[in-house]
Chain A
Amino acid sequence: LLLRAARPLLAGVGRGAALGTAPSTALSTAPPPEKKRWLRAYQELQRLQAPPQRRSEKPNWDYHAEIQAFSHRLQENFALDLLKTAFVNPCYIESEEARRRQLGLDKDAVALQLQDNTGLAERGLRFARTYLAQCFEGAYPELPAKGIEALVNFLTSQELVSYVAQNLSVQDLALCRDFPAPPDVLQRTFLAVIGALLESSGPERTGIFVRDFFIPQLIGKDLFEIWEVVNPMGLLLEELTKRNISAPEPRITRQLGVSTVLPVYFVGLYCDKKILAEGPGETLLAAEEEAARVALRKLYGYTENRRPWDYSKPKQGLAAEKAISSN
């Protein structure tokens, strides 16, 4: 028993040993006859240098079972045919038709009876954008429209959506022409999955799904990392005039190492002699800009010590009605 357990896990070794000792009767079902022992190192090298293959081309793959497991993994009830359509990409349909035409099939057989996921993807993208915009308008009422747009663009960008899709095994299930699937294909597939969920379960559950998978990507991110603001001081002046507060006066609060290579200046912004915000910087200009950014973060309520996002069950009806009416 010990000897058998200590065998290596390669199939070739065992079969090679068996061929040497007794004639094997399983030759009809076995893979092509194994090479000799002295070629095994070369075979191993070939195996390691082989190009990566899709999971669907490796042994042990059942598409229907994988799709069912996918829907259970996300704890959602999908209509399975909608979900299967969501994974079909237009590049896959084109490549399949080209392959069938090359094999010389009739015109009827060439046309595949598969639908694209472009419609579902568009619907999913629209719903995700409107839902996320509503979430942010509710959570950060002071944030201007450009800021909300920047946040929503970041959350529906290619890199983020393809990263989320990769870690949910969408790249195994998606049918597309190239392997590994490029990020825009993954983004389209994941948005189509959201569209399919919208059709099967309705806007409320899809809203909870979008909230659960997209909003945690904002954890640890600063507002101005996502939203590029060229002139924070100008933006701050606009915000203060909207609230009828006088223009801020910058003053140096602290400074360290002025005559060295690495000085640190803390510049404070004072409105009517009351402190608004204080920010550090290497030069006076940089410190003033940083102070303006800190002031904007405080005004928009996007500081690091704000309340974390509320993931509890939403109130019935409100969010769904808004989403339906905007669609």
Chain B
Amino acid sequence: RYVRQLQRLQLLFSPTAADARGAREFVEEAAQDFARQHPDVVLYVSPHAGPGPAPVLRAEYLNGTVRDELIASKTSEEIVQLATKLASQSGLDIIRIRKPFHTDNPSIQGQWHPLTNKPSILTVQGPRLQPQ
């Protein structure tokens, strides 16, 4: 069955900083709807008072990966889109995909090996049998 790989989202922002305005609007308007639509993701909202680091959305996945995304100067809709994107990802590292194709059945009739079409030693080679 499908198990969402995102475990929890932590929204770390400051209640007074100017670039955290989108984060504050997200918390006021869209956070509850997001939490209701994704009941298997735990959303933590932690405002830290006073000037602090830039507002960040921290995503933790089931395989232990922790991803930080900056949400400074982003609007509330953009943060919602970002959160849904993170919710549909798995925790695997984001690296270049070497090949855009993969198959579990590389060969249908069996892979060729030097003995594929060679007759076995036991086949008796002789004159053709006469029809009865």
Contact = CB atoms under 8 A, between A and B. Distances in A.
B3 A11 contact: no
Counting chain A residues whose Cβ lies within 8 A of the other chain, the interface size class is: 35 or more
B42 A5 contact: no
A168 B3 contact: yes
B27 to A, nearest CB: 15
B53 A13 contact: yes
A184 to B, nearest CB: 21
Given A5-B19, A60-B46, A169-B62, A253 B122 contact: yes
Q: Identify the interface centre among A5, A10, A62, A264: most chain B CB within 10 Å of its CB.
A: A5
A130 to B, nearest CB: 22
B51 to A, nearest CB: 5
B128 interface: no
B40 interface: yes
Interface string A250-261: 011111100000
B7 interface: yes
A69 B62 contact: no
B53 A253 contact: no
A178 to B, nearest CB: 18
Contact of A73 (B4, B18, B56): B4
Contacts, number: 93
A188 B39 CA distance: 26
A238 interface: no
A212 B3 CA distance: 11
Interface residues of B, number: 36
A251 B122 CA distance: 8
Contacts of A65: 42
B52 A14 contact: yes
B121 A10 contact: no
Given A62-B44, A254-B115, A1 B49 contact: no
Interface string A36-68: 000000000000000000000001101001101
A106 to B, nearest CB: 36
Contacts of A30: 50
Interface in B43-87: 44, 46, 48-54, 56, 62-63, 68, 70, 72-73
Secondary structure of the A side of the interface?
Answer: mixed
Contacts of A18: 50-51
A14 B51 contact: yes
B121 A254 contact: yes
A60 B44 contact: yes
A169 B56 CA distance: 23
Contacts of B2: 75
A72 B53 contact: no
Given A26-B50, A254-B115, A9 B56 contact: yes
Contacts of A15: 50-52
Contacts of A1: 18-19, 72-73
B23 to A, nearest CB: 13
A212 B1 contact: yes
Interface of A: 1, 4-5, 7-11, 13-15, 18, 24-26, 29-30, 59-60, 62, 65-66, 68-70, 72-75, 167-169, 172, 212, 251-256, 264, 266, 268
By Cβ-Cβ distance, the 6 closest A-B pairs, closest first, are A73-B40, A253-B120, A72-B40, A26-B50, A60-B44, A72-B39
Given A1-B72, A7-B54, A256-B115, 16 more contacts: A1-B19, A4-B72, A9-B54, A9-B68, A13-B53, A15-B50, A15-B52, A62-B42, A68-B39, A70-B40, A73-B40, A167-B62, A167-B63, A254-B118, A255-B121, A256-B114
